[in-house]
Structure 1
Amino acid sequence: MLTIWGRLNSHNVKKVAWFAEELDIPYVRHDVGGAFGMDTAYLEKNPNALIPTIEDGDVVLWESNAILRYLAARRGADRFWPTDPSERALADRWMDWQFGYADAQRDAFLNLIRRTPDQRDAAAITRSAAACSKQMAILDRYLAETPWLSGDAFGIGDVPMGVYAYTWFTLPIDRPRLEHVEAWYARLRERPGYISQVMIPLS
């Protein structure tokens, strides 16, 4: 059975837990990180002191997007890991693009979710929200051409940004009207794994 190590209120853990649901992989998840801490046994698996980490038989792997690629290649067959490199790369690029978006969103998330009102930096929130809007406008232009970041069907390319989209739509920040992003987000909210593993209270 697949083992996932990491607390579910982490964006990166959400990616892996949601994708395991999409692949219908039996798994168990253990809370690690944040308030749950990390013991020596965990740090032996992941010396970076980050989450998530998975164990799949003899395979121990960390870095969330590397885990997604591994699971897609091992368990997703051509549906989630196409044999055609050009087709695979079209979805794969959005997985790396997500890191830039995460940087843009970080200050808004930390200030509004992880800090008390008296600790918040209003200017940092405003800058972060504006940076998010700029990135999401890029996403919107792409989604005007195709229903999914992975192409004609939901795929691995939708997972990383799908997690961050929930935060984008949940944070109390100013957001422009982005018709195609909104339609994509509505399609994500029809997926049971997204509802159960991603759409939880931000914390």
Structure 2
Amino acid sequence: MLKILGKASSINVRKVLWTCAELNLPFEREDWGTGFQSTQTPEFLSLNPNGLVPVIKDADFVLWESNTIIRYLASRYDGAHLYPADPLMRAPVDQWMDWQATDLNRSWSYAFLALVRQSAVHQAEKAIATSIASWTAHMRILNGQLRATGAFVAGKQFSLADIPVGLSVNRWFSTPFEHTQFPAVSEYFERLSERPGFGAYCANGLP
């Protein structure tokens, strides 16, 4: 059985858990990370030298990096409905997954650490404001894309990209500051509520 290493509160672990729900894929999960087993032990570092969760073990195969993991799972376990084999259909899915992992994540990092994690070293007011402005600009891009598709981030059908993007939207709504209203994003989040795993792994009270 697939084994997932990582605490269930981690946004990156939740990508994997939500994907398993979409694939109806059974798994076992072990708690690793802050507050649980340390990811800095030789045992864990032999699996992921970065010392980060999630890590999966699929029989003897070990893999880390959350977006890579969910691509692998969809490719291996009959997930063509989430991650198409056709390059023209797959490319937009990859595009929005990579945008989430790079541009969008960088924009909210400082504000999230300051306002949600209450990090003592992330309390500079100017840096928080800059992060919120950048985050808002990226959410405006997402709103425009969702307005154009009228449905999901990569097109009319739910895809693998909607899992990391959906989790990031949840983080947007969960972070306490005055939000610009983006109607297409709000409608999208409501649309996601119909998906398997959404309630357990996205809108579950965790940012």
TM bracket (short chain): over 0.9
Q: Secondary structure at the match of 2:205?
A: coil
With over 3 angstroms needed to count, the CA separation of the structure-2 counterparts of 1:202 and 1:117, relative to structure 1, is: farther
Match of 2:163 in 1: 159
Which structure features the higher share of helix residues? Answer: 1
CA distance in 2, matches of 1:108, 1:185: 21
Task: Please state how far the C-alpha of 1:149 moved relative to its aligned partner.
Answer: 1.3
CA distance in 2, matches of 1:69, 1:86: 16
Task: Please state how far the C-alpha of 1:58 moved relative to its aligned partner.
Answer: 1.8
What is the TM-score normalised by the length of structure 1? 0.93
Say whether the 8 Å CA contact 2:83–2:93 is kept in structure 1.
no
What is the TM-score normalised by the length of structure 2? 0.91
Match of 2:96 in 1: 94
Match of 1:115 in 2: 118
Task: Please state how far the C-alpha of 1:117 moved relative to its aligned partner.
Answer: 8.2
Task: Please state how far the C-alpha of 1:201 moved relative to its aligned partner.
Answer: 3.5
Superposition misfits of 4+ residues, deviation over 4 angstroms: 116-119
Q: How does 1:47-58 map to 2 (within 5 A)?
A: 47-58=49-60
Q: Secondary structure at the match of 1:21?
A: helix
Task: Please state how far the C-alpha of 1:184 moved relative to its aligned partner.
Answer: 0.5
Unaligned 5+ runs, structure 1: none
Say whether the 8 Å CA contact 1:92–1:157 is kept in structure 2.
yes
Q: Report the aligned-residue RMSD.
A: 1.8
Letter of the aligned partner of 2:173 in structure 1? F
Unaligned 5+ runs, structure 2: none
With over 3 angstroms needed to count, the CA separation of the structure-2 counterparts of 1:116 and 1:80, relative to structure 1, is: closer
Task: Please state how far the C-alpha of 1:124 moved relative to its aligned partner.
Answer: 2.4
Letter of the aligned partner of 2:9 in structure 1? N
Percent identity of equivalent pairs? 39
Match of 1:184 in 2: 188
Q: Which moved more, 1:123-132 or 1:13-22?
A: 123-132
